[in-house]
Structures are given as C-alpha cells and as structure tokens.
Structure 1
Amino acid sequence: MRIYLRVTMHHLLLSVYIFTFLVGVPANILAFCSFCHKVRTRAAPIDVLLLNLTISDLIFLAFLPFKMKEASDDMKWLLPFPLCPSTGFIFYVTIYNSTLLLTAVGVERYLGVAYPLRYALCRRPRYAVVASVLFWAVTSLNLSIVYIMPYAQWGNMEAEPPSTCYLNFTESELNILLKVRLELFLVLFCVPFVICCFCYVNFILILSRLSNISRRKRLRAIGLAVSTLVVFAVCFGPYNVSHVVGFARQESGDWRNVALLSSTLNACLDPVIFYFSSAAVRSMLKRCLRNVVAKMHILGCG
C-alpha cells in the first residue's frame, strides 16, 4: 500500500509539473512581451513589478523540467549532481519572490486609491526596480540553505553524490532546516500575506465608496483583489503551513511534496492577475485571439 501511494504521488507530481509547464509557458511569454512593450513605451511602477513577476515565473518554468525528470525517476536524482542545488535554489527562490512581488502589487494598488495625489507625486518606476532587486536579494539570502545543504551532504559522503536531491536529512541537518523553514513561514509568508490582506480589503472598501468609477472598472479592480488573495492563500498557504507542521513533528516527510504542488500552480494562475492588472496584457490577448480566429477562418475557407 505504501509503495502504491509513493508511485501515485510521483505520478501526481509529474502530471502537475507537466500541466504547469504547458499552460504557464505560453501565458507568461504573452505577459512578458506585453510588459516589455509597456515598460519601453510608458513605464509605471505596476508594470515593472508585474514584469519582474513574469520573469520570476519564466525562470521557475525554465527549471521545472529538471523537477519533472526527478518525479519520473521516482524522486531519485539521476542528473548531474550540480544541477540539484541550482534547481532547488531557483525553484524555491522564485516561489517566495512571487509572494513579495504580489504583496508589492497590492501595496501599489492600495496607495493609488488611498492617497492618489500624494502617491502620484512620488510614483516612480525606479522605486519598483529597487524594490524588485531587494526582493531577489532577500529571498536569495533566506533560501541560500537550499543551495548549500546538498553540497554539504555530498561532502559528508566523501565519494558518490547523494541519490536524492534535498530530500533526506540527518538529525543535525534537520534541526537547522526546520528552524529555517519556520522563519520562512513567518517572514516570507505571514508578513506579506497580512500586508496583502490589509491592502486589498481597504482597496475594495475605498472603491465601493467612490461614485466616479464605472461599474466595469470597479468589478475589474475587485477581481484583481480577489484573484490575488486567492492565489496567495491557495498557492502559497499549504506549502508554508507544512513548515509549521514539520517543525511541530520534527520531521520532513514526503507528503510535503504534495503541499508544494499548489505553489507550483502559481505560475499558471499569475497570468489571471496580469489580465486584471494590465490593459497591455488584455490588449495583447485580444490581438492574439483575433489573429488565431483570422487564421482559422482562412484555413476553413481554403
């Protein structure tokens, strides 16, 4: 029964990875082209933040095939071992970088409606660039253990590299790792989530009191707020809660990989936020759909 569950889990991991890759790559490439064009022509802080979120998702998707290979090999690492720490590091850094960037998008939206005049005076794209660089630095420093520990395990073995990648830990390694994971839960999930909730709840309340905004724009803005909070809670909640459960049980079980699946799907759901957040993405999507319909019509007539 236990072997059957392990096989089923690996098939589930592989299926979700493949789905995320197939859906996320074209959606994020579309968003990337839209934001690049927007930043080149008339950049706004929100465009810089969303461009960085897209880049983060694309980097995540670029390394996802290595995780597919791992899942297809029954969670054994059969690739060159130096790819193990690199893949793990990029995989987790981009996940947590997304939480910070989504929070920054929420803060930007809230300030724009709560203090429109004052915020307009200091609304500069370069501040969003600085914030994005800081987010990458903070997540990289906090997740450095993901890069260091596989090499430490390899050094302790003195010869052959470990057969798995960042899965099996000694008691001393686990003692350090569980504390780091608890810190990640508190600093890189709880704090951003509380800030995000505060910003979007007040964002919706302020919009509901404004009479000079059309119903369509109000619904689109509310859709942005709701979709962002849903993505935050559904995608990042289960995996981060697993840090707390693991710390309480003093273990790092295989079940955590299943909790990680919702974070993997974030690369598919971010384009929903892009659609609500950016007119450039909506325009690009409509243009692509028109081109597809036109080509299908030509093929049909032919």
Structure 2
Amino acid sequence: MSNCTLNITAGVQNFQLAALIPTFLFGVPGNIFVLVTFCRRPRTHWTYMNIYISNMAIADCVVLMLLPVRIASYIWDSSGLSDQKHKELCYVLVSVYYVNMYVSIFTVTAISIVRYVAIKYPLKAREILCCRNALVVCALIWLATCSLSATFHRVDEPGKNATIKCFQKNKETALPLIFILVLNIMGFLVPFLIMLFCSVVVIFKLKKELEIGARCEKLQCMFIIAANLIVFVICFFPINFGFFLKYVMQANRYDCDSQFFAHNFVHSAMCVSSMNCALDCFSYYFATKTSWKLCTSRKTSEEYECNYKRASQ
C-alpha cells in the first residue's frame, strides 16, 4: 500500500483552538506569577521546593508561549515554516516545545519523590532535601530531555526536498520502535509508576497520622496528591498512547483511514497534554501553598522526631 498523506482535519484544528486558547490565557499569567513570586524572595528564603516548582513553571511557561506558533503552523501554510530553508528554525521550535514538556513531566516526578522522602523519612529529609541537590536534579532533567530531543531529529530527518511540517512527524514511514518504546517507557511509564508508588505511600502515611496534628489540612494534602496523580494520567497518557498507536498503524501499513485517525488522535492528545502546563501552577503552588508547608515543614519533621524519640525510650 502506498504511503498516506496525513493532514490534520478541520475538526481537530477547531478542537485545538477551543482547548489551547484558554490554556494559554490562564496558564501564562499563572506561571509568570509563580516565577515572579519566587524570584522576589531573598535567596536565603529559597527552599528545595521553590527550585522544583520554579523549574516546572519555566518549562510550562515556555510550552505555553509556543502554543500560538504551533497553532499557526497547523492552520496557515503561509507561516513560512514549511520551507526547507526554515528547517533549522522549525527544529529549534519543536525541540524547545518537547524538551520543556518532558522537563515538566520529570519535575513533577521529582516533586513526588520529594514528598515521599519528606513524609516517609522525615529524619533523613533534612540531609537529602536541600537546594543544592534540587539544582543538580533539575540540571540532570534538562540534560536528559535535551539528549532525547536531539535523537528525535535524527530519526525524523526528512528527505532533501521534502516539505517541513513543524510540530508534526516529517518522515512518511514509522519512527523506529526502539525510539517509541524509550519515549513511552522513560517519558511516561516510569514517571507514572514512581508517582503512583510515592503518592500511595504518602497518602497512607498521612492517613495513619490523621489524629496527630491538623486533621483538616492533612485530608486536604491527601486529596491534592491524589488529584495531581489523576491529572498527570489524564494529560500525559493519551499522547504517549497516541505515539504508540501511530507507530502500529504506520509500521503495519494499515489503511489510510486508520493512519489518519491515529495522526489526528496524536494531535488532539497534544492539546490535552498542553493543558497540564496551565494546571501545574494551580495544583503545585496555589492549591498546595498551605498543605505542602504542613506536610514538609520543619515543624512536622520535629513532631515526627519527637514521637520517634518517645517511642524509642
């Protein structure tokens, strides 16, 4: 069967406009507010949590800023991004978009691990959870995602005279299976399993300690942690499933209608994943401002330490 020409339908374009415009309008001010709030604080008042949330806010804000460019590249052929001479610009835009999306995913995962350590091992948390370690983790996250982006452009290198499609796959053939598996496993499955484990352990730990300290705030913290996990799955499962679905359709040379469906599904799922960038600033800063302090504050650690000493006597 000959290769199919895959273009985004008008229905998907309308869905993108309906989903991405509110995401852009609410997400950009929210993330900028978070960054400005943290940057105005004295350096001595910064904590490891400030670093993680700021790192996530930067990544989310960059993704949101590129949404108008992404929409334009889908709708208007006159945008100039489909010409071979603009290939480098297109590569830069795509790299920046995907790098920052996965930086957000890995940073959310790091925050889940931080929660787990702070609640499960409060006595060791002071040594492990510090600003220096947070900076190292953030640097490693950026390094890993940039390496993955560079690999993508190598496996999706278009032909010499082929038309460049920004924010879309340029090769008509399927991407290598190993690349799809690495992307899905390392980019979603492993972070999800880590978040699931950490979230379940923290929720059960807080549930056991409901009678110690402020019960209402701990219930709020449990609810927010569960909500963060659910939002993560809703936003990032469809896009990673779509990558695999599109590979299966193209690699096995399904009919054009099936490939067309998978292609449009991927780009619809990309809109859903972009919504996470607007939700992060609310679910990891505004909603958790009080409950996070309760769950990881020095006072909470001292309470656990005091109870531990009493139990040991």
Asked whether 1:196 is paired with 2:195, we answer: yes
The CA distance in 1 between the partners of 2:270 and 2:20, in whole Å, is: 11
- Kindly state the Cα deviation for residue 89 of structure 1 after the two structures are TM-superposed: 1.0
The CA distance in 2 between the partners of 1:258 and 1:213, in whole Å, is: 45
Identify the residue that residue 118 of structure 1 maps to in structure 2.
124
1:51-66 equivalences under 5 Å are 51-66=54-69
1:214-233 equivalences under 5 Å are 214-233=214-233
The CA distance in 2 between the partners of 1:38 and 1:193, in whole Å, is: 32
- Kindly state the Cα deviation for residue 82 of structure 1 after the two structures are TM-superposed: 3.0
Identify the residue that residue 241 of structure 2 maps to in structure 1.
241
The correspondence for 2:105, drawn from 99, 102, 113, is 99
Asked whether 1:272 is paired with 2:282, we answer: yes
Identify the residue that residue 153 of structure 1 maps to in structure 2.
158
TM-score (norm 1): 0.81
Q: Deviations over 1:256-280 (max 9, x none)?
A: 1012111111111102222233359
Deviates more, 1:184-193 or 1:15-24: 15-24
- Kindly state the Cα deviation for residue 108 of structure 1 after the two structures are TM-superposed: 0.4
- Counterpart contact for 1:227–1:272, Cα < 8 Å: no
The CA distance in 2 between the partners of 1:31 and 1:227, in whole Å, is: 20
The correspondence for 1:72, drawn from 69, 72, 75, is 75
Identify the residue that residue 266 of structure 2 maps to in structure 1.
256
The CA distance in 2 between the partners of 1:193 and 1:4, in whole Å, is: 31
Deviates more, 1:221-230 or 1:273-282: 273-282
Q: Percent identity?
A: 26
Q: Any unmatched runs of 5+ in structure 2?
A: 1-5, 252-258, 294-313
- Counterpart contact for 2:64–2:274, Cα < 8 Å: no
The correspondence for 1:7, drawn from 5, 10, 21, is 10
The CA distance in 2 between the partners of 1:281 and 1:108, in whole Å, is: 11
Q: Deviations over 1:137-161 (max 9, x none)?
A: 11111122344466x326x21xxx6
The correspondence for 1:18, drawn from 13, 18, 21, is 21
- Kindly state the Cα deviation for residue 212 of structure 1 after the two structures are TM-superposed: 2.1
2:238 maps to a residue whose letter is P
Deviates more, 1:46-55 or 1:239-248: 239-248
- Counterpart contact for 1:13–1:71, Cα < 8 Å: no
Cα 1:118–1:85 shift into 2, 3 Å? same
The CA distance in 2 between the partners of 1:59 and 1:39, in whole Å, is: 25
Asked whether 1:32 is paired with 2:35, we answer: yes
Aligned residue for 2:188, secondary structure, equals helix
Cα 1:115–1:193 shift into 2, 3 Å? same
- Kindly state the Cα deviation for residue 224 of structure 1 after the two structures are TM-superposed: 2.6
- Counterpart contact for 1:85–1:148, Cα < 8 Å: no
Aligned residue for 2:115, secondary structure, equals helix
Identify the residue that residue 172 of structure 2 maps to in structure 1.
170
State the superposition RMSD in angstroms.
Answer: 2.6
Q: Deviations over 1:14-48 (max 9, x none)?
A: 23222211111111111112222347241221111
The CA distance in 2 between the partners of 1:117 and 1:55, in whole Å, is: 31
The CA distance in 2 between the partners of 1:248 and 1:39, in whole Å, is: 52
Cα 1:5–1:183 shift into 2, 3 Å? closer
- Counterpart contact for 1:92–1:143, Cα < 8 Å: yes
The CA distance in 2 between the partners of 1:277 and 1:52, in whole Å, is: 17
- Kindly state the Cα deviation for residue 179 of structure 1 after the two structures are TM-superposed: 3.1
The CA distance in 2 between the partners of 1:175 and 1:64, in whole Å, is: 24
Identify the residue that residue 254 of structure 2 maps to in structure 1.
none
- Kindly state the Cα deviation for residue 77 of structure 1 after the two structures are TM-superposed: 5.6
Cα 1:38–1:197 shift into 2, 3 Å? farther
The CA distance in 2 between the partners of 1:175 and 1:153, in whole Å, is: 12
Aligned residue for 1:153, secondary structure, equals coil
